[in-house]
Amino acid sequence: MNRFLKYSVFFILITLLPAGCVVEKVTNQIPERQGTKAYLKKDYDTAITKYEYAAENDNANAKYALATMYMEGEGVEKDMNKALQLLEQACDQEQKDALLMLGLFYVYGDNVPTDEIKGAELIYRAGVAENDVAMYYMGHLYAAGVGVKKDLRRAQMWMNNAKKFGFPVKEELLTLKGLEALYDN
């Protein structure tokens, strides 16, 4: 009987431990979603409160949303340093929109020193995470040789992937001949 009880407790612990992790993740998503609902209603005070709570609990989407609010000065005083800090934190968690945005900042030197290689690396990570806009930008970066070695075949691959994932890519960017016409000088 003692042995049965011991194994029963062990089984219950093994079963419930992962469930606790799932409950924590779902519980963390609720304030983020509430923040998004408030944001869409332009109730920025509530959005900030909900996003800040979720961000403090390591929600990458909330960190990204807060970053955009700080960039635009929506409900908060515009603060690019705070926005960049939040973007970096979201990137550390592989939040694909944050990866794309910060990558573009580095490629174009927008609010940060220009670093095309670092920018391309961030955009690449967003593209690998199936962000169709990042895939499109990777196509352009490879076609132009910005932050990466110029490679029209890779550019074509990224453009086709972007289209496959729903980005409206112009037809001439989907063929090697079209890319050559636009990018070979």
How many alpha carbons lie under 13 Å from residue 69 in its C-beta half-sphere? 27
Residue 62 has pLDDT above 90, yes or no: yes
On average, the pLDDT of the chain sits at 89
> From CA 132, how far away is CA 159, in angstroms rounded?
9
Report pLDDT for 3. 58
| Domain residue spans of the chain | 1-93, 94-185
The residue type of 49 is T
14-18, 42-46, 85-89, 121-125: which range is least confident on average?
A: 14-18
Tell me the average pLDDT across 123-149.
98
Q: Pick 1-93's CATH classification: 3.40.630, 3.40.30, 1.25.40, 3.40.50.
A: 1.25.40
> From CA 165, how far away is CA 149, in angstroms rounded?
24
Contacts of 134 (CB under 8 A, 6+ apart): 96, 99, 100, 103, 123, 124, 126, 127
Model pLDDT for residues 153-176, shown as the tens digit of each residue: 999 999 999 999 999 999 999 999
Residue 79 has pLDDT above 70, yes or no: yes
Q: Pick 94-185's CATH classification: 1.25.40.10, 3.40.50.20, 2.40.110.10, 1.10.3720.10.
A: 1.25.40.10
Residue 30 has pLDDT above 80, yes or no: yes
Report pLDDT for 29. 84
Q: Give how far the C-alpha of residue 2 lies from the chain's centroid of Cα atoms, to the nearest Å.
A: 51
The encoded tokens of residue 10 equal 């062990």
Predicted TM-score (pTM) of the model is 0.83
11-15, 108-112, 113-117: which range is least confident on average?
A: 11-15
Are the C-beta atoms of residues 1 and 31 closer than 8 Å to each other? no
